[in-house]
Amino acid sequence: MSQQQKRYGAPVVVTWACLSNLVADDAFAARLTLTNVSDAPIAAGWTVYFNACRRVLAGSASAGFDLEHVNGDLFALRRTAPSPWQPGAMLDVRYEAQFWAISLTDAPLGFYLVEADGRTVDLGDADVTPFARPEQLQRHARDALPPADAAWRWRENGGLRLLPDAEVGRITPTPLSARFTNARSRLSASSEIMAGAALAGEAALLRALLDDLPDGDGARILLEIGTVATDGPEAYRLDIDPGTILVRGAGAHGVFNGIQTLAQLLDADGVLPCGRVLDAPRFGYRGMMLDVARHFASVATVKRLLDCMARYKLNRLHLHLTDDEGWRLRIDALPELTDIGSKRGAARDHTLPPSFGSGADVGTSSGTGHYDADEFIEILRYAHARHIEVIPEFNMPGHARAAVLAMRARHDRLRAQGDIEGAERYLLSDPYDASVYESVQLWRDNVICIALPSVDRFIDTVASHVAALYREAGVPLKTIHTGGDEVPPGAWEGSPRCRALMRERGWTRIAQLQADFVDRCRAILARHGLAFAGWEETALVYEDGGPGFQVYAWNNAWGSGKEDVAYRLANAGYDVVLANAANLYFDLAYAKDPQEPGYYWAGFVETRHAFGFCPLDMIVSAATDPMGQSVSPGRLAAMTRLTAAGRRRVNGLQGQLWGENARTRDRIEYLAAPRLVALAERAWAPDPGWCAIDDADARARAMDDAWNEFANRLGQRELARLDRAPLAYGYRLPPPGAVAAGRTFHANVALPGLALHYTLDGSEPDAASPRYTGPVEAGQGAAVFKVATFDTRGRKSATVVIALDSHG
């Protein structure tokens, strides 16, 4: 029985295969097979819908079938000559699509059947034929990047070595200084905490930590705000003596950071080394962005991410609340934003269409959901208690389809009631707009008409409501992020309202219209006492100047020609947060493995890519382009470097977790960690000095040594910490590398310290299987070596299988 039948009781089973990526430049051939597994015919006039991140090429479907692009990533399959679909009948549909398909993420998903009478049936995801042949694993002839199979991982892990405990750092991220003695202190559930009223929240969080320790005598803990011999409100000093532990912070946030370090030094029995830690962050901004618009994330999921961030001293949660596929925060004055914009499904009225495999049923869709006032306030207070600032993002003028459609529905409702003025009060679209465009995500109607005065009123109303929620939460709102990225070419060109405004102002370029919109957004937020932030495009629309807001620079794939945009903006006077896709996009796949979830347009982002990022001289550590090709020395030499003033404008780093491929909490956590820990290391820890090493070979050796230590820190310490209740975070476990030499099996792991367990009898390894400690002999006859990586909870990675025949 297929997974579709098990999950949905589906009457139709779908399988999909990539046939070849080498049929033409930037096109691949694929095959869909759909079988009626029910005992009844499906009446003529049916349609099967599905989501796909690759555009089907028009007219490429097999004879007898039509594959239509509906909008966004939604496609529709029909017979050109409708006839009943008989029980047991299999439909074989071959087609071509843009670009290539080398992983499960590239496969179509979220199939559903709409029968002739309108009945809708979820079919789930297709069963995907494994990617095995070269033409399925290679994107095109210029793709020089090998598949990340077991042998590739074996080679990649070959330079790592298991370090003795004394050589592995105890604190992550690495502090400014830490000195320990052989003496020991002990904490217990009975340890006294002494703190003033200003640190009541920190004391409460510390008490919750101590409550998990055994009872008995323990040192007392003193929390205080005072002078620390380093700069910044987050600085702290931790003094550990047998009878007393002092956590002194330059402010409450510093005390909180000291408590996180204290927690790392504790063992399960409450024992910790005596000594002193002096610490402060390298960058003031250390963030994570979570996209809850593409797929909704519950309050509990967001709080788990906040807990993980807090452990590693990250201090900004950038919450991407809106996009084409969803609006996730209720705005009381504009209820349609969530009544319509937070619901996805196949219903014809008052919902957004399924996207990214979210499914046909509105009620069970991973694309349905929003935060009401109480839920959002709960998130704000939870983050604030952990000294994490929540920066809300409302993406506009592109990536705004959910808002555009919601306000159009509001308009139509009020107009039908005769309230013409009210109908147009918050309208976001020009009804006579004939612009022809298509966004990167294939939407043709996702851009706000920025010439309408109602748009300004809309932004002001949203900002007012959000500010009121923060006030009710007792949490300061400092910044609103307004997106601004990826407005498709052609937008506004056919809008009479936009053309009229351009004539009125004497503008000749669309960029002037967009720059004016950015200025208006800034002015609206300024009236609320708020700072303005946006993606890099918000700054790039200006030809002359325009600094005065925080820019998030992201689009820096190696070989793109945009690698140095962040530095050019910082040198021009903008405050910049580095959100570089090639190192800090955590929605991208970890490796070129067909089973790894995630896109890879900017390359594959392993944990090491986040760790090895050089924020102030990224060009020194330049990587290959997404196809595995080296970036030419001439191009690197021509890239802009940071000036002294520009260096001061780099506020910090942020990891991005876009939600297209994150339908579940498990997937969010898999994509987030352990890359999040590497991000924290690079954002907090002192500059490791790699960029000051002129000799390329010496620099590479220093970076390799540093990565080896950090990989050991993850494998021996930090992932075990993330295993512990109550958090028990669902981070990714790297599959082992493995090879066979003759009849001997060899295996290794990317994070030394993690356990490998194996079997030789064909059974699936578990935590009770033999632990791999060295090469394993196959013995006589056929042998199958199965090996996987395990954490301390017994969770396992994908299993690696190497089979030998009887001849070895």
pLDDT band at residue 808, thresholds of 50, 70 and 90? very low
pLDDT band at residue 230, thresholds of 50, 70 and 90? confident
Q: Are 139 and 193 within one domain?
A: no
Question: Does position 546 have pLDDT exceeding 70, yes or no?
Answer: no
Q: Tell me the residue range of the domain where 250 lies.
A: 177-279
Note the residue count of the chain. 808
**Mind listing the pLDDT tens digit for each residue in 8-54?**
578 999 999 999 999 988 999 999 999 999 999 999 999 999 999 99
DSSP string of 160-225? --PPPGGGS-SSSSPPSEEEEEEEEEE--TT--EE--GGGHHHHHHHHHHHTTSPSS---EEEEEE
Q: Are 118 and 195 within one domain?
A: no
Peptide linkage before 674 cis (omega within 30 of 0): yes
HSE-CB for 493 with a 13 A CA cutoff: 10
Q: What crossing angle do the helices spanning 200-210 and 252-265 adopt, rounded to 10°?
A: 10
Question: Does position 69 have pLDDT exceeding 90, yes or no?
Answer: yes
Instruction: Indicate the average pLDDT of the chain.
Output: 95
**Is residue 151 situated within a structural domain?**
no
Residues contacting residue 335 through CB under 8 Å, at least 6 positions apart: none
3-state secondary structure of 294: coil
In which region does residue 648 sit, left (phi positive, over 0), alpha (psi from -120 to 50) or beta (all else)? alpha
Q: Where are the beta strands (DSSP E) in 424-492?
A: 479-481
CATH of the domain at 221: 3.30.379.10
**Is residue 189 situated within a structural domain?**
yes
**Mind listing the pLDDT tens digit for each residue in 713-772?**
999 999 999 999 899 999 999 999 999 999 999 999 999 999 999 999 999 999 999 999
Domain count across the chain:
3
d(CA 575, CA 532): 11
Pick from 39, 27, 112: which is nearest to 77 by CA? 112
Q: Are 107 and 193 within one domain?
A: no
**Mind listing the pLDDT tens digit for each residue in 656-681?**
999 999 999 999 999 999 999 999 99
State the average pLDDT over residues 250-257.
Answer: 97
d(CA 228, CA 235): 7
**Mind listing the pLDDT tens digit for each residue in 486-511?**
999 999 999 999 999 999 999 999 99
**Is residue 346 situated within a structural domain?**
no
pLDDT at position 541: 87
**Is residue 272 situated within a structural domain?**
yes
- Measured distance between the N- and C-terminal CA atoms of the chain, rounded to whole angstroms: 35
Q: Are 105 and 185 within one domain?
A: no
- State how far the alpha carbon of 753 is from the alpha carbons of 164, 372, 608, 659, in Å: 10, 43, 16, 31
Give CA 507 to chain center in angstroms. 38
Question: Does position 806 have pLDDT exceeding 80, yes or no?
Answer: no
Q: Are 137 and 185 within one domain?
A: no
**Is residue 22 situated within a structural domain?**
yes
Buried b (16+ CB within 10 A) or exposed e, 703-726: beebbbebbbbbbbbbbebbbeee
More confident residue, 175 or 230: 175
- Rg of the chain in Å (alpha carbons): 28
**Is residue 133 situated within a structural domain?**
yes
DSSP category for residue 714: I
Question: Does position 7 have pLDDT exceeding 60, yes or no?
Answer: no
CB 249 within 8 A of CB 228: yes
Structural tokens at position 221? 């803990």
**Is residue 41 situated within a structural domain?**
yes
Q: Are 182 and 139 within one domain?
A: no
pLDDT at position 548: 80
**Is residue 682 situated within a structural domain?**
no
Among the residues of 475-611, which ranges form H helices? Answer: 496-505, 510-527, 537-540, 565-571, 581-584, 607-611
CATH of the domain at 753: 2.60.40.10
pLDDT band at residue 2, thresholds of 50, 70 and 90? low
d(CA 117, CA 120): 9
CATH of the domain at 66: 2.60.40.290
d(CA 100, CA 106): 8
Q: Are 95 and 203 within one domain?
A: no
State the average pLDDT over residues 202-225.
Answer: 95
CB 661 within 8 A of CB 598: yes
pLDDT at position 805: 67
Q: Are 220 and 270 within one domain?
A: yes
Question: Does position 132 have pLDDT exceeding 60, yes or no?
Answer: yes
pLDDT at position 88: 96
Q: Are 9 and 122 within one domain?
A: yes
d(CA 397, CA 376): 24
Give CA 489 to chain center in angstroms. 26
pLDDT at position 547: 79
State the average pLDDT over residues 770-787.
Answer: 91
Q: Please give the model's pTM, rounded to 2 decimal places.
A: 0.96
Residue ending a domain, among 263, 279, 295, is 279
Q: Are 78 and 198 within one domain?
A: no
pLDDT at position 1: 52
**Mind listing the pLDDT tens digit for each residue in 370-388?**
999 999 999 999 999 999 9
- State how far the alpha carbon of 766 is from the alpha carbons of 678, 694, 797, in Å: 28, 47, 10
Q: Are 133 and 32 within one domain?
A: yes
List 318's β-bridge partners, or say none.
289, 391
Residue type, 182: N
State the average pLDDT over residues 590-602.
Answer: 97
Q: Are 33 and 138 within one domain?
A: yes
Residues contacting residue 519 through CB under 8 Å, at least 6 positions apart: none
**Mind listing the pLDDT tens digit for each residue in 516-545?**
999 999 999 999 999 999 999 999 988 655
In which region does residue 375 sit, left (phi positive, over 0), alpha (psi from -120 to 50) or beta (all else)? alpha
pLDDT at position 70: 97
